[in-house]
Structure 1
Amino acid sequence: MSSNPKQEEKPKIGITIGDVNGIGPEVIIKALRDNRILNFITPVIYGSTKTLSYYRKALHLEDFNYSQAKDAGQFHSKKINVVNCWDEMVEINAGAITPEAGRASFNALEKATEDLKAGLIDAIVTAPINKHNIQSDKFKFAGHTEYFTQKFDAKDSLMFLTSENLRIGVATGHIPVKDISGNITKELLTRKLDIMEQSLVRDFGIKKPKIAVLGLNPHAGEEGLLGKEDKEIILPVVKEFKHRGSLIFGPFPADGFFGKGDFRKFDGILAMYHDQGLIPFKTLAFESGVNFTAGLPAIRTSPDHGTAYDIAGKDEASATSMREAIYLARDIYKNRHEQLVEE
């Protein structure tokens, strides 16, 4: 057993500010206000001290203190660090969709990703972006998941929604509903299940995970009566994983699976498409849910909510999901490094 000095260090968790007109700055401030969090991580906010100062004053959260990081990678371990990611003046207009806010959110994301790749931070937590105003020649992605998958040259990744007792991944992510069936292939499902199984072991410390696979069609196809994908594509993949010794079961009809509470019997669940997985997940774990991008060499988590423009700047946003995203990033970092030590 070899020693690993990084294991004893508090991980440096980068937190991107997201859309400055959304609730990102608010939930970041609220999540980090309790100084006890500094016992577990070194927070590094990527955004702007001016933006944080604006929301600190507007929301009457003057007890939130931070330190500007002036040198790359030189972060104070007992303070909240802020990396300024733009020099120009960005007007704050809470609840509004503006091009300036889109550019600012991209600048924060790009700088944090550069530092993550350079090893200056150990993980990244992304506050919500607006998927429209962030689009540019440098950002042509459907969301964070696709961005990080390309940035880290991963062959594939998995959008993995997690909470304390529920973990749901989606086989197809941000694609139109009309394209879902054509994208469900044996190769895709094999990749996604491989990523989920490995992540449950590596990132969540579950030595022999039990995974459920949901069907694509109503009643999982009714033996081909309501669609052939479940019988001809999904079931053979499940059988192949069982043959190699994995605890993977299905395909299950999604309605009954959640209606009867069968989800409680599994460590992970693979849904076939975005809403099939996210509707039950957000119903059951909206306040505490976290979006984790599994399958990457880097660690990226995010609160499981959007910009929430309707409540931005009103001191109504809950920081629970952001706080959970920060702690999950820390836990995954710890699990990965404990396994490195054991190896």
Structure 2
Amino acid sequence: MNIKKNKPVIGISIGDINGIGAEVTMKALQDSRLQKMVTPVIYGHGKAITYYRKIMEMNDFNFMQIKSIEEIHHKKTNVINVVQESPEVMPGVETREAGNMALAALDQAIVDLKSQHLDALVTAPLNKSNINSAETPFIGHTEYLADAFETKKNLMFMVSEDMRIGLVTGHLPLKSITANITAESIKAKLKIMLKSLTQDFGIAKPKIAVLGLNPHAGEDGLLGTEEQEIILPVVKEFKERGELVFGPYPSDGFFGMMHQKKFDGVLAMYHDQGLIPFKTISFENGVNFTAGLPIIRTSPDHGTAYNIAGKNAANEGSMRTAIFLAHDIIRRKGDWEAGS
């Protein structure tokens, strides 16, 4: 058995430097527990970190600039400049320069993940609109990472102490959702969720709730037939295999009665069906975890929050939890020297 002695190395892509990514990252890394548990590598630029350190008066936030991951220092917070020129930091302003840097940070982190220099990646929030272009289509971290690692087997999995919610469909327009709710797509996401709950979260026999697509889960076909024709047969198939899969449940009553507490995971049919209740209940400590990838990736569950950028008003709870979750999954999957 190959026992690893150094602390796990967690890369943090800085996201949009004009949003709150740098702020929540720096605040989270001031947690003394994290400094003892992981070696952080921020993919961004030292000028941006210095800028926020000054305006937030975080004079005790120290970091070491390194040229590449090979120069990593395990007792420091490391920063890798992903662009040569010093970026202009303009809190609250959407700029193409910030988008280019966010993408450069993500791309460099992917390179280091593929070379196995990183044990996990935590992605700070970015702005899709100042990245997306005809040359670089970008609809989200989940899809971009899935393409980078050449896999379609992934699950957007929102995780907190109170619930874990996965999505059958992610960043799709509402009009396209129904066509993508198929028996095959539901089965694929259920398999990933079951495997993740077992391997990543250490739950021996996970219990999963599957939500319906239509109001009142179709009302026995009165309000839609997807539940009877597509979702229920899949649930029955998994039950026959001995899996603890139940549903389909009407989403309003399910969350209204707080039934998510009775399950290890919940599978929602589309983005807002899962994320609205999740963020309502767990916004300050929720984490976006991409299950099914060959690497570990977590992210805070909020966006760039331009309206409070640069005001030292952002809550770092979700970012801190994202780093802790990445650490916990690393430890659960890998072989590490005790206490390292």
Conservation of the 8 A alpha-carbon contact between 1:48 and 1:86: yes
Conservation of the 8 A alpha-carbon contact between 1:123 and 1:298: yes
Matching residue of 1:108? 105
Conservation of the 8 A alpha-carbon contact between 1:90 and 1:100: yes
Matching residue of 2:250? 253
Post-superposition Cα deviations, 1:1-32, rounded to whole Å, max 9, x if no partner, equal: xx2312x5321000011000000000011011
Counterpart check, 1:4 vs 2:2: yes
Tell me by how many angstroms 1:135 deviates: 1.6
CA distance 1:137–1:44, change in 2 (3 Å): farther
Conservation of the 8 A alpha-carbon contact between 1:214 and 1:220: yes
In 2, Cα distance between equivalents of 1:34 and 1:72: 23
Deviates more, 1:275-284 or 1:156-165: 156-165
In 1, Cα distance between equivalents of 2:10 and 2:299: 12
Counterpart check, 1:184 vs 2:220: no
Q: State the SS of the aligned residue for 1:14.
A: strand
Amino acid at match of 2:26: I
In 2, Cα distance between equivalents of 1:4 and 1:309: 45
Conservation of the 8 A alpha-carbon contact between 1:73 and 1:121: no
Matching residue of 1:72? 69
In 2, Cα distance between equivalents of 1:244 and 1:71: 48
Q: Pick from 76, 81, 86 the counterpart of residue 83 of structure 2.
A: 86
Q: Pick from 39, 43, 57 the counterpart of residue 42 of structure 1.
A: 39
Q: TM-score scaled to structure 2, two decimals?
A: 0.97
Conservation of the 8 A alpha-carbon contact between 2:157 and 2:165: yes
Tell me by how many angstroms 1:138 deviates: 5.5
In 2, Cα distance between equivalents of 1:36 and 1:263: 30
Conservation of the 8 A alpha-carbon contact between 2:162 and 2:282: no
Tell me by how many angstroms 1:338 deviates: 5.6
Matching residue of 1:134? 131
Q: TM-score scaled to structure 1, two decimals?
A: 0.96
Tell me by how many angstroms 1:71 deviates: 3.9
Matching residue of 2:220? 223
Conservation of the 8 A alpha-carbon contact between 2:10 and 2:120: yes
Conservation of the 8 A alpha-carbon contact between 2:44 and 2:79: yes
Conservation of the 8 A alpha-carbon contact between 2:284 and 2:317: yes
Give the aligned CA root-mean-square deviation in angstroms: 1.2
For 1:118-267, what aligned pairs fall within 5 Å after superposition? 118-136=115-133, 139-267=136-264
In 2, Cα distance between equivalents of 1:299 and 1:306: 20
In 1, Cα distance between equivalents of 2:226 and 2:188: 17
Conservation of the 8 A alpha-carbon contact between 2:10 and 2:119: yes
Q: Pick from 40, 58, 61 the counterpart of residue 61 of structure 1.
A: 58
Q: Give structure 1 stretches of 5+ with no counterpart.
A: none
Q: Give structure 2 stretches of 5+ with no counterpart.
A: none
Tell me by how many angstroms 1:34 deviates: 2.9
Post-superposition Cα deviations, 1:65-113, rounded to whole Å, max 9, x if no partner, equal: 0011234333111110111111113111100000110001011110011
Matching residue of 1:279? 276
Q: State the SS of the aligned residue for 1:73.
A: helix
Amino acid at match of 2:117: L
> Identity percentage over the alignment?
60
In 2, Cα distance between equivalents of 1:52 and 1:27: 11
Q: State the SS of the aligned residue for 2:334.
A: helix
Q: Pick from 14, 27, 31 the counterpart of residue 30 of structure 1.
A: 27
Deviates more, 1:94-103 or 1:139-148: 139-148
Post-superposition Cα deviations, 1:301-325, rounded to whole Å, max 9, x if no partner, equal: 0000000000000000010000000
Q: State the SS of the aligned residue for 2:284.
A: coil
Q: Which portions of structure 1, spanning 4 or more consecutive aligned residues, are displaced by more than 4 angstroms?
A: none
Counterpart check, 1:306 vs 2:298: no
Tell me by how many angstroms 1:173 deviates: 0.4
